Amino acid sequence: MNARRLHEIAGIPRALRWDEFVYQQGDPVHGLYRVESGTVELGRLTPSGHELSVVLAGEGEWFGEAEVLMGLDRREYFARAAGRPSVLYVPLRELSPVCFGELRQLAMDRLFRIQTCLADLVPEPPAQRVKSYLRHLADRSETVRMSVRAISKAAGCPRETVNRTLHHLTEKKVIAVDRGTITFLAPERLGL
């Protein structure tokens, strides 16, 4: 989805530190964000205080739009750096009707991707969930920068499983891993 108008009004990219919050659950809604590089984890604290990772926003993706579209005053989710991403910010006051149309389309696109990803992940054993999740990432980009922790949360399996699966896929030359950057060499083989 091309959000041309939104990108035109976005500010200067801001680099984030590892695990730095862009915003926390309950913070006021002042605008929305775009990932310029890296990955941002969107999650929620459960009533019992546990963190639940909901989705990872990667390079070129917008986040924080749900509360904006719903007209909420407070954030329902938190957004935290999964690595060292760079993000752009668009304040609410800059949003025109054209921007809201672009936001609605972005939200529908994300909902469809999440539903498809969940349908692929839920019935699978852990190692296959990692491969399925990587396949969904490969559909959007040739490379991703993501921590083992972030993949573990997204795929819903232990870090050890992620490490073993990444090692196996590297040996089979399906992916290449270099300092947190995954390059998809043969994404068609991720379903194996």
Could you report the per-residue pLDDT of 43-57, keeping only the tens digit for each?
888 888 877 777 778
CB 142 within 8 A of CB 151: no
- pTM (2 d.p.): 0.64
**In this structure, are residues 104 and 8 in contact, taking their beta carbons and an 8 Å threshold?**
no
**Same domain, yes or no, for 103 and 21?**
yes
Q: Distance of CA 72 to CAs 29, 64, 77, Å?
A: 7, 11, 12
| Residue 16, pLDDT score | 92
Segments of the chain with pLDDT less than 70? 1-10, 117-123, 192
The reported pLDDT for the residue numbered 1 is: 46
Question: In this structure, are 133 and 99 located in the same domain?
Answer: no
Of 95, 118, 141, the residue that ends a domain is 118
Domain count of the fold of the chain: 2
Measure Cα distances from 107 to 67, 91, 113, 114, 171 in Å.
11, 18, 10, 10, 37
| 118 Cβ neighbours under 8 A, 6+ residues apart | none
| Domain of residue 183, residue span | 124-191
For position 132, what pLDDT does the model report? 83
For residues 25 and 101, membership in a common domain is answered with yes
Query: What is the predicted pLDDT for the residue at 79?
Result: 94
